[in-house]
């Protein structure tokens, strides 16, 4: 079980988590007007290393801008709020951090004007997000991925997650672990809350950022590691469901799951049905990188203590 730490941040101050409430009339509840991110922190060698917190913050900031909510905060302000909260909670273990900018306004009209954005933050303890050992069983969802010209998919907007939840629940109800979402043109977008990669003949394929997916921080990290450390070619190009079935390897990436290999898609075995060599090598690299143990990539980690 993930434990929520006792102190959170909301409306400019640290409060007990049980007091970190918003009014039921808030626009974020009714209209999904919020932007959030999820950051991992790993406890290693007496320090808590946050993985690429600046990149998360910048994506959050851009997302808020894309929605047009009037909110400003500098990275140093954000970092101070976050590190103070970690210290207040006396955290010395792996964590998952949820910063959110939400429309706190209680006005009835669904506008972003007068949305009174507020910044809130809470932290939970975190181990594995999905069981990764046996490989995932994916289902291609009947739910089409929301298009960028409906809701900006790069914004990590809370309202967008109704789309993810519909797909994920459909998959889970049908006995699968996770959903893959397609775009209107039939090309693969991503999974419900992670990016997707395929491997064919040693080349890595990733749906491009124009495919209505999130510009995942883990996606970015793995592309860099694959190119620089494994000297692999990474092709960012659209591919369809039928291509997905033919890959030698498929894997998902995200802050929560890091990298997790896929055993089947729509009950069709991917490759040998075992974790492939590319996923294995990338997992070794990213597992080290998040612990601040990968030389050349320590710039990705910021220690709290």
Ligand X SMILES: Cc1ncc(COP(=O)(O)O)c(C=O)c1O
- The residues of the shown chain that bind ligand X, judged by CB under 6 A, are 38, 164, 190, 193-195, 213-214, 216-219, 254-255
Minimum CB distance to ligand X, residue 225 (Å): 13
> What is the Cα–Cα distance from 47 to 21, expressed in whole angstroms?
31
Distance of CA 220 to CAs 14, 52, 130, Å?
A: 32, 11, 21
Terminal Cα-to-Cα distance of the chain (whole angstroms) = 26
Q: Which residues are paired to 234 by β-bridges?
A: 204
Minimum CB distance to ligand X, residue 280 (Å): 19
DSSP annotation string for 94-128:
-EEEEEEEEE----SS--STT--EEEEEEEEE---
Minimum CB distance to ligand X, residue 82 (Å): 16
Specify the residue, 33 or 252, whose C-beta has the smaller distance to ligand X.
252
Task: Report whether 82 contacts 97 (CB < 8 A).
Answer: yes
Specify the residue, 88 or 238, whose C-beta has the smaller distance to ligand X.
238
Minimum CB distance to ligand X, residue 16 (Å): 27
Nearest CA-CA partner of 238 in 217, 259, 213, 263? 213
Minimum CB distance to ligand X, residue 214 (Å): 4
Specify the residue, 115 or 255, whose C-beta has the smaller distance to ligand X.
255
Specify the residue, 7 or 97, whose C-beta has the smaller distance to ligand X.
97
Task: Report whether 252 contacts 260 (CB < 8 A).
Answer: yes
3-state secondary structure of 54: helix
Task: Report whether 136 contacts 172 (CB < 8 A).
Answer: no
Minimum CB distance to ligand X, residue 192 (Å): 7
Check residue 5 and report its DSSP letter.
P
Minimum CB distance to ligand X, residue 120 (Å): 17
> What is the Cα–Cα distance from 104 to 27, expressed in whole angstroms?
6
**What's the longest Cα–Cα distance across the chain?**
55
**Strands 258-265, 136-144: pairing kind:** parallel
> What is the Cα–Cα distance from 49 to 207, expressed in whole angstroms?
30
Specify the residue, 7 or 40, whose C-beta has the smaller distance to ligand X.
40
Specify the residue, 7 or 49, whose C-beta has the smaller distance to ligand X.
49
> What is the Cα–Cα distance from 267 to 48, expressed in whole angstroms?
40
Minimum CB distance to ligand X, residue 150 (Å): 14
**Strands 249-254, 13-16: pairing kind:** unpaired
Specify the residue, 85 or 157, whose C-beta has the smaller distance to ligand X.
157
Specify the residue, 38 or 105, whose C-beta has the smaller distance to ligand X.
38
């Amino acid at each position: 079980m993930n434990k929520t730490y006792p102190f959170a941040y909301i409306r400019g101050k640290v409060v007990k988590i049980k007091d970190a409430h918003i009014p039921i009339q808030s626009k974020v509840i009714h209209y999904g007007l919020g932007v959030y991110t999820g950051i991992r922190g790993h406890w290693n060698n007496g320090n808590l290393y946050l993985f690429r917190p600046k990149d998360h913050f910048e994506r959050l900031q851009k997302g808020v801008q894309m929605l047009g909510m009037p909110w400003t905060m500098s990275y140093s302000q954000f970092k101070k709020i976050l590190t103070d909260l970690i210290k207040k909670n006396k955290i010395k273990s792996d964590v998952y951090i949820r910063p959110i900018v939400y429309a706190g306004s209680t006005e009835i009209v669904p506008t972003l004007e007068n949305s009174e954005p507020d910044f809130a933050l809470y932290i939970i303890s975190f181990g594995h997000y999905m069981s990764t050992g046996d490989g995932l069983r994916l289902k291609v969802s009947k739910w089409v991925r929301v298009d960028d010209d409906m809701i900006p998919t790069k914004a990590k907007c809370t309202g967008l997650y109704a789309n993810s939840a519909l797909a994920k629940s459909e998959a889970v109800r049908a006995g699968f672990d996770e959903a893959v979402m397609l775009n209107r043109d039939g090309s693969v977008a991503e999974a419900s809350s992670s990016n997707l990669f395929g491997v064919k003949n040693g080349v890595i394929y990733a749906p491009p950022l124009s495919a209505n997916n999130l510009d995942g921080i883990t996606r970015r990290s793995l592309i860099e590691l694959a190119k620089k450390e494994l000297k692999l070619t990474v092709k960012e190009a659209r591919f369809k469901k039928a291509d997905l079935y033919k890959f030698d390897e498929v894997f998902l990436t995200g802050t929560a799951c890091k990298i997790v290999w896929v055993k089947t898609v729509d009950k069709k075995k991917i490759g040998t049905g075992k974790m492939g060599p590319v996923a294995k090598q990338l997992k070794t690299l990213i597992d080290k990188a998040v612990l601040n143990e990968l030389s050349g990539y320590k710039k990705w980690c910021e220690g709290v203590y």
